[in-house]
Every structure is written in C-alpha cells, then in structure tokens.
Amino acid sequence: MYFHVMDNAHFDNLVCQALFGDGALVVVIGADPVVATAGGSGGERPLFELVHVTRTLIPETGGAILGLLREVGLMFSLISEAGLLKMVSGAGVDFTDDDDRNALFYAVHPGGRAILDKVEGVRGLRLEKTRASRKVLADYGNMGSACA
C-alpha cells in the first residue's frame, strides 16, 4: 500500500515506509464477561480491565504526520524532532509528582522506539510503564492504521 518510487524531495515517504506497516485491530469490550474457571475450558480470559479512558488533543499538532493520497500514491510528511519533543512535553494530564504518573498503566501508540524513549523521558516514566507498548512494537512493528 505504501510503496512507490522515492525521490530526494520526498524523503519523508521513505522514512514512513520503513516505520509503518498496515494491519487490523479489534478491541472486544463487554459489560459482563463469562470468565473461564481455573482448570476449566471456554469462557473469556481478559488481559486488561478498562477503568478509565481519556483522550488528549494536543494543540497545534494537526500537521504532525500527514498522509496525502496523490496520483503517485500515499505521500507522507513528518514533523521535526523539536516539534515532537514539544508535543510530548505538553501531552497528557498534569501530575503533582512522579509517583502519580508512574502509578498508572500506559498504552502508548508505539510510533517507534525513539517516540517511546521521549515519552518516558519527558513524562518521567519508569521503563516498565511502556513495556507493553515496546512488546507490541517489537512483535508487530508500527501499525499505521491500528491504534487503540
């Protein structure tokens, strides 16, 4: 889907082709799951429980990653490294101390190892807080269209 001939004027396209794959995603949400009993078969085996979900829109980030469908295919444009650092710095909820932010579970869209490193550093997260996101990135890569 993403591959097309590169030229020096559109280097962002090559970077995006190297970083992003394509795939599908599903999240099954239930109100009253039938949980499998110890030693029993069947039923659900939930891995996580959603207690609270929120989204954060970061001002002035509309052009962070642009994917434009053109005659030659899907063309990408990425923000600069400095822009990414500014976005990550302002993202999320304000906390009073490091213990509060490290008490939460994080599901960071793994846009790449460098992005996860920046989120950890800027937000002051311990390494185990992004372990699940790093595992998804290592096992499946950065799925361009799959994010939950």
Token pair 């976005």 in the structure block, residue:
87
Question: pLDDT of 67-114, one tens digit each?
Answer: 777 777 777 776 665 555 555 555 555 544 555 777 777 777 666 787
> Which of 20-24, 67-71, 118-122 has the least mean pLDDT?
20-24
Model pTM score: 0.54
- Please report, for the chain, the start and end positions of each structural domain, with discontinuous segments joined by +: 8-141
Cβ-based neighbours of 27, under 8 Å, separated by 6 or more: 148
Domain 8-141 architecture: 3-Layer(aba) Sandwich (3.40)
Alpha carbon of 77 to those of 11, 67, 139, 143: distances in Å?
A: 9, 7, 26, 17
Whether the Cβ atoms of residue 23 and residue 143 lie closer than 8 Å to each other: yes
Residue 65: CA atoms inside 13 Å, Cβ hemisphere, count?
A: 11
Question: pLDDT of 131-148, one tens digit each?
Answer: 888 888 888 777 665 455
Token pair 């190892």 in the structure block, residue:
113
Query: Which amino acid makes up residue 18?
Result: A
Question: pLDDT of 41-51, one tens digit each?
Answer: 666 767 767 66
